[in-house]
Amino acid sequence: MTRRIALSVGALIVALLVLAVVPLGISITDREHDSFREETAARARAVASAAEEHLSDNHPDTEAADQVANAGRHGDCALVYDKHGTLILSTPCHASALPPSAVADVLRTGKAQTRQNDGWLTMAIPVDDTVPASGALVYSRPTDDLNHQLLTVWGWLSLCALGALAAALFVATRLARWVGRPLVELDDAATRLGEGDLGARAAVTNGPPEVRRLAATFNAMAARTENLIHGHRAVIADVSHQLRTPLTALRLRLDLLAADVEDDLAVELAGAQEEIARLSRMVDGLLAVARAENSVPRATPVRLDRVVADRITAWEPVAAEREVRFTASGPAELTASMGPGDLEQALDNLFANALEAAPAGGQVEIRTSRPAEGGTVTLAVIDHGPGMDESARERAFRRFDTGRESGTGLGLAIVHRLVTANGGQATLEETPGGGLTVRLSLPAGPSEARTARPVRRDRRPPRGERTERGERGERAERGDSGANGGGTGTPTG
């Protein structure tokens, strides 16, 4: 901004100087030219007056010769002709920019002629007012002194203009820095706040009053945001503890009761256990959505191929039981910029949904790519299940929007909030041939050469998705499909 302000002010000053200095210089130049011609004409008239006394009044040529000699001492050239065009007096130099016929024209018409050429100003004038004239004078004066004087004038004007321009640029630069530095600091503080540094604040002691008020307003907003996020985090932690503990205790008691009851009552207790498990998953999903909505992730570089391979390894036991296989494709070393663990959590939800939707013997495809426009990387999770109609895809990112009795409708909401919180975009598309494609457009991260992020090597599915023999009936409920079974799975965490 400092450079732009300085350049803008400099351009304005240059325009003003051009509009002021150039016309002034032209005016001074014209005035100097006029003064030079008038002085040359005065010198020529003095010589012509002395020559008139000799040619018209038959006086001795002594005074005329003195005037011619005086012109020579000044470095001028003077040539005196009689009425027949005969040269009678002259200085040692004979410089003239006039054609030879100029003397005859002056003698015949009595009109003066002036021409400037080759560094000389030459005037041919009659020596008297008669027509034809009794004589003519050709007076030439070098323009070296005039050119030197004009060069001096333009030099001083240029120096003054450059001095004014330098002073204006200095003042503009200082002013721009005075205004711009607090804005740069405010931008840096806003960037750090956006990256998750809730303690980021801007200085309020620099810059004009408007900028200081803006910084103070930003600090108040940042403080309120910090308090709100900390408050939400505390509420989430309390709710997590207060809800999970009694649910776990209730499930354990039901397990104990189920061990000592008859068959009919055992069926009822099994149904109650399933409802408790579903309630637990819903609580976990709500907490995951709350975390995603109230978190400010601090972006770190994430290698897509490594995270995808890690999560495929974790979900392969579940996929094998459902006779579904994973395939991954895309360029190596694609890097996204996301909060720690966010991509893993999003993939866990998408994989859970895709495994629920994919038919036995089918496959789930994971494709990564780098769009031509740059700045983002794309990750797509593709299944070939029932898919979603257009209206279901439009509602899929809303909470609790599911067309199945067993789903919670929170998985895609979690994915959407995790991706958007990191500055990305999540979209749902119909898979050619049937199925659902979830496409994540993520901010591109730095190159792999600067990436040193450890990869999580958890070989188990996330909590709530472990494939224990006694919970196979529950696994069928943990997908969270949409209207046609193409939504997302239970949140993991």
Total of domains in the chain: 3
Looking at the domain assignment, is residue 183 inside a domain? no
| Same domain? 281 vs 303 | no
CATH number at residue 262: 1.10.287
Residue 313, φ and ψ in degrees, nearest 5: -60, -40
CATH code of the domain in which 39 resides: 3.30.450.20
What is the overall mean pLDDT for the chain?
Answer: 79
Task: Indicate whether 261 and 323 sit together in one domain.
Answer: no
Of 404 and 51, more confident: 51
CATH code (residue 394): 3.30.565.10
DSSP per-residue codes, 50-93? HHHHHHTS---THHHHHHHHHHHHTT-EEEEEETTS-EEEE-S-
Predicted local confidence at residue 357, as pLDDT: 86
pLDDT at 491: 35
Do both 328 and 462 map to the same domain? yes
Whether 134 shows a pLDDT value over 70: the answer reads: yes
Q: Is 177 contained in some domain?
A: no
What digits encode the pLDDT tens for the residues 142-167?
A: 998 899 999 999 999 999 989 988 88
User: Do 393 and 483 sit in the same domain of this protein?
Assistant: yes
Which range of residues forms the domain containing residue 85? 2-148
Do 243 and 361 lie in one domain? The reply is: no
* DSSP annotation of 449: G
Query: In terms of domains, do 17 and 50 share one?
Result: yes
Cβ–Cβ under 8 Å, residues 457 and 344:
no
Q: For 65-118, what is each residue's pLDDT tens digit? A: 999 999 999 889 999 999 888 889 989 887 776 787 888 898 888 899 988 887
**What pLDDT score does 246 carry?**
79
State the pLDDT at residue 423: 82
Q: Are 303 and 335 in contact (CB under 8 A)?
A: yes
- Give the model confidence (pLDDT) of 393-405 as tens digits: 877 777 655 545 4
What is the rounded CA–CA span in Å between residue 136 and residue 47?
10
User: Residue 478: its pLDDT value, please?
Assistant: 37
pTM exceeds 0.85, yes or no? no
Q: Residues 342, 464: one domain?
A: yes
Convert the pLDDT of each residue in 281-334 to its tens digit.
667 766 666 666 556 567 788 899 999 999 999 999 999 998 999 999 988 888
Same domain, 218 and 101: no
Whether residues 289 and 308 fall in one domain: no
Per-residue pLDDT of 29-38, as tens digits, reads 999 999 999 9
Domain final position from 254, 273, 294:
294
- Same domain (yes/no): 231, 246: yes
Decide if pLDDT at 269 tops 70.
yes
**Which letter does DSSP use for residue 299 in this model?**
-
Q: Per the domain annotation, does 188 fall within a domain?
A: no
Q: Say yes or no: 347 and 252 in one domain.
A: no
Residue 133 lies in a domain: yes
Alpha helices in 358-442 (DSSP H): 390-395, 411-421
Who has greater pLDDT, 19 or 392? Answer: 19
Where does residue 268 rank: exposed (0-12), middle (13-18), buried (19+ CB within 10 A)? exposed
Answer whether residue 430 is part of any domain.
Answer: yes
Residue 479 pLDDT class (50, 70, 90 cuts): very low
State whether 329 and 214 are in the same domain: no
Amino acid at position 93, single letter: C
423: exposed, middle or buried (Cβ count in 10 Å: 0-12, 13-18, 19+): middle
Give the separation between CA 395 and CA 399, rounded to whole angstroms.
9
